Amino acid sequence: MLPVKRKNLLWTFLISLSFIFSMERLSSFLDSPITELKEPLVLVVPKGRGLSAISDELSKKGLLSWPKLYVAYAQASSQTSIFAGEYLIYPGSSLKNILKILTDGDVVKYKLTIPEGLRSRDFLDLLARQPKLSHQLNGLSDAEIIATLGGKISQFEGAFFPDTYLYSKGDSDIEILQLAHDAMNRTLKEEWEQRAPDLPYRSPYEALILASIIEKEASSTSEKKNIAAVFVNRLKKGMRLQADPTVIYGLGDKYQGNITRRHLKKATPYNTYVIKGLPPTPIALPGRDSIYAALHPLKTDALYFVAKGDGSHFFSASLDEHLNAVKQYQLNRKSDYHSNP
């Protein structure tokens, strides 16, 4: 007959062995793919929801047989801190996989691309069409939006960097707006610090204004520095920019797709056929290439350019050369056609 002490040790050993065996079986079960999951499942975890409630939800969906045991396993393995958000569970996933993405906060990410050349108002419209965002900007004026951003900007147009931004369900449109604004400030600062000498700008903001005009004028990145050179040369000589995109911007909703001579003579703060120098604000959201071009114009004497009809432009240093180019490339297109500048 075994002594009591040895008997107790044996029982402790057997119980421990049984527990280890059970945990190994549980671990093996949790590692197995969920056969009931036939298609991707979107699992939404609201703020404040704990693992117990999530386990019950998985059980109701037929994906988990023992929710309490699942919670016990998570507690035993120190995996109980769950992040709120939207999760995508794919077929072939195991219960361990699900637990890992929940505790890692591996939420679904959505892409929002802001095209270069978009206006700030159009950017807001794009944000408003994102169903997964929390919409807090609806109905706000430009001034109210500026205040929402902490009053860091004085003008709304041109204040946001066109790029692709990632967000998850429940993020606010204000967060995306702030990211785009910070990115524009950062990009403009970086490019301004590396600018070429002898430029006619008094501030980075003036460079941003010209960059926005370049963005709307250029059909290809390869010509942006050429177009920048024309405008920089004109600014230095005190010539009007005569850029059609500024006229279009000044017309607002009155622009119906065609610029007439009457439009070119209409006085607006943005009509660079009438005003001297730059318009008061950017006219669009310029990308980095356009900002770089405005700060690194090609060294050339060109003062004019005209569209050739194939997406490229012909650049001229004299008015006579420019008028000949207009005659060659554009005169026969429309009786009221006008080329830039």
The answer on pLDDT for 208 being more than 50 is yes
Q: Which residue has the tokens 């069409």?
A: 129
Q: What is the DSSP string of 274-320?
A: TSSS--SS-SS---HHHHHHHHS-------EEEE-SSS-EEEESSHH
Burial of 156 from C-beta contacts in 10 A (0-12 / 13-18 / 19+): buried
Instruction: Determine which of 44-53, 231-240, 292-301 has the lowest per-residue pLDDT on average.
Output: 44-53
CATH homologous superfamily for 31-104? Endolytic murein transglycosylase (3.30.1490.480)
Confidence of residue 62 (pLDDT cuts 50, 70, 90): confident
Average pLDDT score over the chain = 86
266/249: higher pLDDT: 249
Which residues, 6 or more positions from 163, have their beta carbon under 8 angstroms from its beta carbon? 113, 114, 180, 183
The answer on pLDDT for 255 being more than 60 is yes
pLDDT more than 90, % of the chain = 52
Which of the listed ranges 6-20, 51-65, 170-184 does the model predict with the highest average pLDDT? Answer: 170-184
How large is the average pLDDT for residues 195-213? 96
pLDDT at 159: 92
Whether 334 contacts 325, CB under 8 Å? no
pLDDT at 12: 53
The answer on pLDDT for 36 being more than 50 is yes
Range(s) of the chain covered by CATH 3.30.1490.480: 31-104
pLDDT at 181: 93
290/137: higher pLDDT: 290
pLDDT at 25: 62
Burial of 270 from C-beta contacts in 10 A (0-12 / 13-18 / 19+): buried
Instruction: Determine which of 75-84, 159-168, 189-198, 212-221 has the lowest per-residue pLDDT on average.
Output: 75-84
Distances (CA, A) of 319 to 161, 166, 169, 231: 36, 48, 56, 15
The answer on pLDDT for 253 being more than 60 is yes
Instruction: Determine which of 13-22, 100-109, 328-337 has the lowest per-residue pLDDT on average.
Output: 13-22
Residues 111-121 have pLDDT tens digits of 999 999 999 99
Residues 274-323 have pLDDT tens digits of 999 999 999 999 999 999 999 999 999 999 999 888 888 999 999 999 99
Angle, vertex CA 178, rays to CA 174 and CA 182, nearest 5? 175
pLDDT at 287: 97
Write down the pTM of the prediction: 0.81
Instruction: Determine which of 13-17, 19-23, 47-51, 180-184 has the lowest per-residue pLDDT on average.
Output: 13-17
How large is the average pLDDT for residues 132-155? 83
